[in-house]
């Protein structure tokens, strides 16, 4: 029976002709549940974009626009808030507090062994997810207060004189907006049409593209022609590089031992274990930007302290993060480190080796058990190095472009292109996987 099914599957794969884009769209439209999932995700993104354009009352939009145009750090925060911060909207913090909370609970198991044990069980993972949601609330309030304080100190014209009641109301509204986005993110992720966090950031980037193109052509001068052409070429090369790195993988050959079933001897099968060069996707960049902006918010609290040394330390910390070189180096190091960290969290060589041994499979030339674990860890660390270097370079590409071109409108660069391309590829893959699953169900 098993051999007959394998033969039928191989015949189906060989006889199936590649579908054109229009044929795939037709298949998606005919699959009612898949069509409903895509429509639901699109509606959630529309709701998010509407919320991102509802400003908190009492804000000077012109002063806010000038501030974000002149501050690189705020520009990056705005990028990863989905574009809501530039409008000082009710969802201005985006899902950054939710990401920070998730990072905390990813790091805690290294310190608290009980959490590591909880992650191995479904019920334990549900508890950790609940705690992550609860921790998001105070973090959202804290980051909202820090951002309001930052704007009041750096650009008093943005908010003017606000009372304690107005400040409290702003924090409550912004915190509620973050919780609302957290709910939307989880709803989107449940549909298996892409990661909710990445899709919200993707929607924010895409919504800014028309404005960026308009600013480029409005401020265009004939002397900037070669600069503009160079930017377009670099953007195309970056897109190709993102696709190559995201699709690149190292195939580890896997052999299965000979088995005897029902009096017949089954030969050893050959397959492979794919190890992707960039297992972490865009998550390291999202984590890094959430961490690199946190010291700036802490500095705003310190400058309000009564102690002189805390004020001096806050001013020093604030000045250090305004330095483009310090910011760029720290950003690169964080992306590099988070790439390794996230890969270690998501890829467990011990579990892979254990599953191979249970299935009677082995890597040629490598003994099962600890040797397999060491080999998988060695290969993973080597290929992750190239993925981490690529992500780090892509992350600081806007800073490099701005330094050489001095064009503010070309700030939408590496990280934005990486997210747009990666999210698009991931969505296409998940939709194709669901279509393929339906074809096998028909078979």
Q: What is the pLDDT of residue 57?
A: 76
Helix (H) or strand (E) holding 26: helix 21-30
Q: What is the pLDDT of residue 406?
A: 60
The more confident residue out of 238 and 392 is 392
Can you list the alpha helix ranges (DSSP code H) found in 248-369? 283-292, 294-302, 308-322, 324-346, 349-358
Task: Name the band, by pLDDT with cuts 50, 70 and 90, for residue 19.
Answer: low
Mean per-residue pLDDT, 420-435: 79
Look at the block and give the residue holding tokens 């000038």. Answer: 66
Number of domains in the chain: 2
Q: What is the pLDDT of residue 360?
A: 80
Beta strands at 361-362 and 249-256: parallel, antiparallel or unpaired: antiparallel
SS3 category, 109: helix
User: Of 6-10, 15-19, 328-332, where does mean pLDDT reach its minimum?
Assistant: 6-10
- Same domain? 34 vs 76: yes
The more confident residue out of 98 and 211 is 98
pLDDT tens-digit map of 298-307: 776 676 667 7
Mean per-residue pLDDT, 233-241: 77
Q: What is the pLDDT of residue 12?
A: 45
Q: What is the pLDDT of residue 267?
A: 47
SS3 category, 10: helix
- Same domain? 172 vs 290: no
SS3 category, 31: coil
Q: What is the pLDDT of residue 22?
A: 67
Mean per-residue pLDDT of the chain: 75
What are the DSSP calls for 342-409, one per residue? HHHHH--HHHHHHHHHHTTEE-TTS-TTHHHHHHHHHHHHHHHHHHHHHHHHHHTHHHHHHHHH--GG
Q: What is the pLDDT of residue 73?
A: 59
Q: Is residue 75 part of a domain?
A: yes
- Same domain? 237 vs 213: no
Q: What is the pLDDT of residue 179?
A: 92
Q: What is the pLDDT of residue 116?
A: 76
Q: What is the pLDDT of residue 193?
A: 80
The more confident residue out of 392 and 257 is 392
Mean per-residue pLDDT, 122-131: 85
Residue 309 clears pLDDT 80, i.e. is over it:
no
- Same domain? 164 vs 280: no
Q: What is the pLDDT of residue 2?
A: 43
Q: What is the pLDDT of residue 69?
A: 63
| Domain termination site, one of 187, 218, 249 | 218
Q: What is the pLDDT of residue 49?
A: 86
The more confident residue out of 25 and 99 is 99
Q: What is the pLDDT of residue 367?
A: 83
Q: Is residue 6 part of a domain?
A: no
Mean per-residue pLDDT, 102-117: 78
Q: Is residue 5 part of a domain?
A: no
- Same domain? 301 vs 343: yes
- Same domain? 195 vs 238: no
pLDDT tens-digit map of 140-176: 888 888 778 777 776 666 776 777 888 888 889 889 9
Domain extent for 92: 28-218
Contacts of 297 (CB under 8 A, 6+ apart): 142, 143, 146, 147, 150
Residue 183 clears pLDDT 60, i.e. is over it:
yes
Hey, what are 367's tokens?
């003994």
| Domain termination site, one of 200, 218, 236 | 218
Nearest 5°: the CA angle 226, 232, 234 is 100
Phi, then psi, of 376 in degrees rounded to 5: -65, -40
- Same domain? 314 vs 395: yes
Q: Is residue 209 part of a domain?
A: yes
Residue 10 clears pLDDT 80, i.e. is over it:
no
| Predicted model pTM | 0.69
């Amino acid at each position: 029976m098993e051999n007959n099914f394998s033969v039928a599957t191989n015949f189906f794969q060989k006889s199936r002709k590649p579908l054109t884009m229009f044929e795939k769209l037709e298949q998606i439209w005919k699959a009612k549940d898949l069509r409903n999932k895509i429509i639901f995700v699109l509606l959630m993104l529309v709701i998010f974009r509407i919320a991102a354009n509802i400003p908190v009352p009492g804000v000077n939009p012109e002063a806010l626009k000038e501030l974000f145009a002149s501050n690189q750090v705020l520009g990056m925060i705005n990028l990863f808030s989905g574009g809501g911060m530039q409008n000082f909207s009710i969802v201005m913090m985006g899902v950054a507090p939710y990401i920070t909370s998730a990072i905390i609970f990813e790091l805690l198991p290294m310190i608290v062994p009980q959490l590591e044990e909880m992650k191995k069980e479904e019920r334990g993972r549900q508890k950790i997810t609940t705690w992550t949601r609860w921790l998001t609330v105070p973090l959202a309030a804290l980051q909202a207060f820090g951002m309001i304080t930052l704007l009041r100190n750096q650009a008093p014209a943005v908010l003017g004189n606000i009372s304690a009641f107005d400040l409290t109301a702003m924090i409550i509204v912004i915190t509620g907006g973050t919780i609302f986005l957290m709910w939307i993110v989880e709803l989107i992720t449940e549909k298996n049409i892409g990661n909710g966090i990445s899709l919200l950031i993707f929607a924010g980037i895409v919504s800014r593209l028309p404005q960026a193109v308009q600013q480029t052509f409005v401020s265009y001068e004939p002397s900037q022609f070669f600069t503009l052409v160079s930017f377009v070429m670099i953007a195309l090369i970056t897109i190709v590089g993102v696709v190559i790195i995201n699709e690149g993988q190292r195939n580890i050959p896997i052999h299965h031992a000979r088995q005897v079933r029902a009096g017949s001897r089954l030969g050893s099968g050959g397959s492979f274990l794919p190890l992707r060069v960039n297992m972490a996707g865009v998550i390291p960049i999202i984590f890094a930007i959430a961490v690199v902006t946190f010291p700036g918010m802490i500095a705003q609290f310190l400058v309000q302290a009564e102690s002189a040394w805390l004020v001096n330390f806050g001013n020093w910390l604030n000045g250090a993060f305004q330095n483009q070189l310090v910011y760029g180096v720290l950003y690169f190091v964080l992306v590099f480190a988070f790439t390794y960290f996230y890969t270690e969290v998501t890829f467990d060589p011990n579990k892979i080796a254990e599953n191979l041994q249970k299935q009677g499979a082995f890597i040629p030339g490598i003994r099962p058990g600890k040797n397999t674990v060491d080999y998988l860890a060695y290969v993973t660390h080597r290929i992750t190095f190239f993925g981490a270097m690529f992500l780090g370079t892509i992350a600081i590409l806007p800073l490099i472009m701005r330094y050489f071109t001095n064009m503010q409108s070309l700030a939408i660069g590496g990280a934005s292109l990486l997210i747009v391309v990666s999210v698009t590829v991931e969505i296409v893959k998940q939709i194709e996987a669901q279509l393929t699953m339906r074809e096998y169900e028909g078979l």
